[in-house]
Chain A
Amino acid sequence: MLKSINERYSRQIILPGFGEAAQQKLQQAKVCIVGMGALGCPALQYLTAAGVVNMGIIDGDVVQLHNLHRQPLFFSNEVGALKVMVAKQKMQQLNPLVNITDYPFHIHPKNALQILSEYDIVIDATDNFPTKYLLNDACAILQKPLVYGAVSQYEGQVSIFNNNLNGGKNIQYRDVFPDPAATANIQSCEQAGVLGVLPGIIGTLQATEVIKFITGMGQLLDGRLLTYRSLETQFYEIELTKNANTVNINVTEFQQTDYQHICNAASTEESLSVDQFKQMLQQQLLFVVDVREMGELPHVNFVDHQIPYSQIIQAKNNLHIPVTNKNICIICQQGIRSRNAATIFQSKTLQKIFHLQGGLNAYFNS
């Protein structure tokens, strides 16, 4: 058994500066991966292969067909299966020594501290801001290092937060992005798209940081935000600084925080002036929704979608918000119905909703 273990890891054990001591550290470490999607899968695979045998994986989602282009751990015939179950089973085949605890549900302020306290280091492989703030706060309370990763279309970010061990800089996600509410208008992969291979690279970078942290090798991305731009094939690094105004929240506050809400709190509808509207229209940044009743004049050629205001009022509880990667801007004749409609739309989505101030009257009189 020992011989086969040594053989399995032999090509990294012979590395100068690695050796059996580093392998031993990997074997003893406990790593939690939050999110078993496009970042979490590659991180899990490489850590399992490297001999990080004690891991927890948290995700309540099932495999969906639109996941497969960036989550090739999952196969077409596994659509509909729980991600953590499929991942765990495959990792046991990859490395029979692995001991994975699956958590087939989403992380929440009520369960986060108890679960994460079991682990030495946490990987943020989530795909949404509420969970990113939740993980940051939980790791700050527990003083656990958090290996952050995130992607946007063709680019990805990696860093390590809350690292106060061995002279770590102890910078938090909140030091860098202090305002959860300000994230409300940043689009997700679902809205903006993502190049499939990109999170594979970012998740693999996260796994590399975890291995370095556990073994003490090299220099961590501590206090540094690394951004990979796939289209330019460039890495851009920014030295981060602590924010003197960042307040650590306590356990009681944490458990009572509605993270979904704080990431949406400031996303009240916003009005665009005619000039702003024209400029954004020209830059093709707007998806224009006309809420005038059918047949109202004048016809305009920049409308992408029409829902009469009367229908919005009636359908209030099962209103369908158009899916678009542009900014939704609602228009009407005078800017009154559009403001009300924007408020209703805004209450249904994290995406920022705009409306044209003064309506088409202002547009044609400018």
Chain B
Amino acid sequence: MQVLVFGSLTDIVAPLPNDIICDNTEQLIGLLEAKYPAIKTTTYFIAVNGKMVRENTSLQPTDTVALMPPFSGG
């Protein structure tokens, strides 16, 4: 599946993983936290295929998951 990261996460989740296979968003976050521990230091919400999700959501290999932190600059 495709993982997209934005804002402060672009420095942390680098290089972007392209080989992640998992069943749901909780598993995905677990895998990402293991690979990029600094991800735990920030806040973000999750969107699956362009839609914000709040609960653990099942994932298909063709899905796109976005991790979106808030931005503060202006």
Q: Which residues of A contact B (CB under 8 A)?
A: 35, 37-40, 125-129, 132, 149-153, 155-157, 176-177, 179, 182-183, 185-189, 192, 194, 199, 225, 227, 229, 236-241, 243, 270, 272, 275-276, 279-280, 283, 285, 327, 352, 354
Chain A at the B interface: SS class: mixed
Bound CA–CA A171/B10 (angstroms): 26
Q: Name A38's contact: one of B12, B45, B74 (CB within 8 Å).
A: B74
Residue of B nearest to A277 (CB): B37
Q: Are A186 and B74 in contact (CB under 8 A)?
A: no
CB proximity of A38 to chain B, nearest CB, Å: 6
What bracket does the count of chain B residues touching chain A fall in? Answer: 20 to 34
Q: Would you call B30 an interface residue if the criterion is a C-beta within 8 Å of the partner chain's C-beta atoms?
A: no
Q: Name B54's contact: one of A39, A185, A236, A243 (CB within 8 Å).
A: A243
Known: A152-B8, A240-B52. A185 touches B73 (CB 8 A): no
Q: Would you call B68 an interface residue if the criterion is a C-beta within 8 Å of the partner chain's C-beta atoms?
A: yes
Give chain B residues whose Cβ lies under 8 Å from the Cβ of A157.
Answer: 70-71
Bound CA–CA A87/B35 (angstroms): 48
Residue of A nearest to B13 (CB): A283
Give chain B residues whose Cβ lies under 8 Å from the Cβ of A155.
Answer: 6-7, 10, 71
Give chain B residues whose Cβ lies under 8 Å from the Cβ of A132.
Answer: 70, 72
Q: Are A186 and B72 in contact (CB under 8 A)?
A: yes
Q: Are B38 and A270 in contact (CB under 8 A)?
A: no
Q: Are A156 and B66 in contact (CB under 8 A)?
A: no
Q: Would you call B4 an interface residue if the criterion is a C-beta within 8 Å of the partner chain's C-beta atoms?
A: yes
Q: Mark B1-35, 1 if CB is under 8 A from A, else 0.
A: 00010111011101000000000000000000000
Q: Name B51's contact: one of A126, A186, A188, A239 (CB within 8 Å).
A: A239
Q: Name A185's contact: one of B36, B41, B45, B47 (CB within 8 Å).
A: B41
CB proximity of A296 to chain B, nearest CB, Å: 27
